[in-house]
Amino acid sequence: MAREVRHDATGPLKVDEDDFDDEKGNIAICMCGLSSDYPFCDGTHRTTRDEKSGTVYRYEDGDRREIEEIVYKDGGE
Ligand code: FES
């Protein structure tokens, strides 16, 4: 599976000890790209658990659609 994710950030976010979860003692960085609290995981990745292998998805406003493919303007991958 693949997922189209759009980001507006143009630079890094520096994390520090204030970002640690008080209960778990760690920092969970979102790797699915869907968190509303990006770059921190908010649990939204659970919506990806039933994604099918070989399928490309687009998530918008809480909805998920299957798309044919991601086409890049420059033809890249
Ligand atoms: S990994 Fe993206 S919300 Fe958890």
Asked if 9 and 75 touch (Cβ cutoff 8 Å), the reply is: no
15 CA to middle of ligand 1, Å? 17
Peptide linkage before 12 cis (omega within 30 of 0)? no
Q: Where are the domains of the chain?
A: 24-77
Strand order in the sheet with 56-60: 2-4, 56-60, 63-67
Tens-binned pLDDT, residue by residue, of the chain (77 aa): 889 888 788 999 999 999 999 999 999 999 999 999 988 999 999 999 999 999 999 998 889 999 998 888 887 76
Asked if 64 and 55 touch (Cβ cutoff 8 Å), the reply is: no
Angle at 72 between CA 66 and CA 77, to 5 degrees: 90
47 lines ligand 1 (CB under 6 A): no
CA distances from 40 to 29, 43, 54 (A): 5, 9, 27
